[in-house]
Structure 1
Amino acid sequence: MNAAHADPPHAGQAPATTACVCGCSQADGAAAHALAQALARDDLDLAISLGLLAEEFPAKLACTACTPACTQALRDAREQRLRALAARERYRARAQRLQRRADERAAQRAAPTVAAPAVLTNTDAAAAPRPALPNAAAAALARAKAKAAQRGPT
């Protein structure tokens, strides 16, 4: 069976070959090579399972024989994925915050209708219903109506 027909590695399993995408075949860099191959195939699940997001990433996944561009590509891929994960967390936190605020506003709007209506008395002016328009707005509306009445029907 040749390499062209070999089954791809399963999640968490490194490829059988230790050659890197940059051409390096140093045996001590096999973990870095497997990670570079997974990223070259755009297999993020495999790359993550091979240690792309591991805390010990730089020390564990280093190959001194790989080209600087290859090593930098691994670092860039890690940073890009970490930024994406951080952005997802910020998005989720924002969505939770917005939902909490919406729930609070809904509770505030519902609070007056939920409370039992108080018996209005003449002495309780604070509980009296407020007019629909402020005094200044009501006066402006009255002036506009009077002016429109003077012009006559159109």
Structure 2
Amino acid sequence: MIDLTEKGDRFFIGEERRLRVEDKIAEEIKRHFDVVAEDLKDEIKLVAEGYSLLSEKIDGLRKENAEEHATLNKRIDGLRKENAEEHAILNKRIDGLREENAEEHATLNKRIDGLRKENAEEHQEILSAVKFSYAELDHRIVALEEKFASIEKRMSRLETIR
């Protein structure tokens, strides 16, 4: 039979081997972990650099956008100023046209009033002439009727004489 010491030695030798294998595995895992960690560090550095570049690019775009925004605001302010000036000019022109229109309206009203007055005077003259003509016609008709009556009397006398 195998002696207990021998068994114990074998056990320790096996245990020692197992520990060496575990140490090798642990060492391999550690080495692998270090490689993975190094790769992750490199990738994290790349991501950080990419982030930094994107941040710079975004800052540049923001600056460009702010400059364009300022330029557009200046243009808008200029257009508003031009619009206000043109609006003032148009208001002056409209006021001038209103004044001209009011003056022409007053002139036309005066002319219309004058024409109405002339028309009324001419109407009165025509009425007077018609009345005069009517009186004249009436006088002539009366005179003609008298002459006709006189002629009839003469004809009647002539007929009675014959």
Instruction: Report the TM-score range of the alignment, normalised by the length of the smaller protein.
Output: 0.3 to 0.5
Larger RCO, structure (CA 8 Å, separation 6 or more):
1
Highest CA radius of gyration, 1 or 2?
A: 2
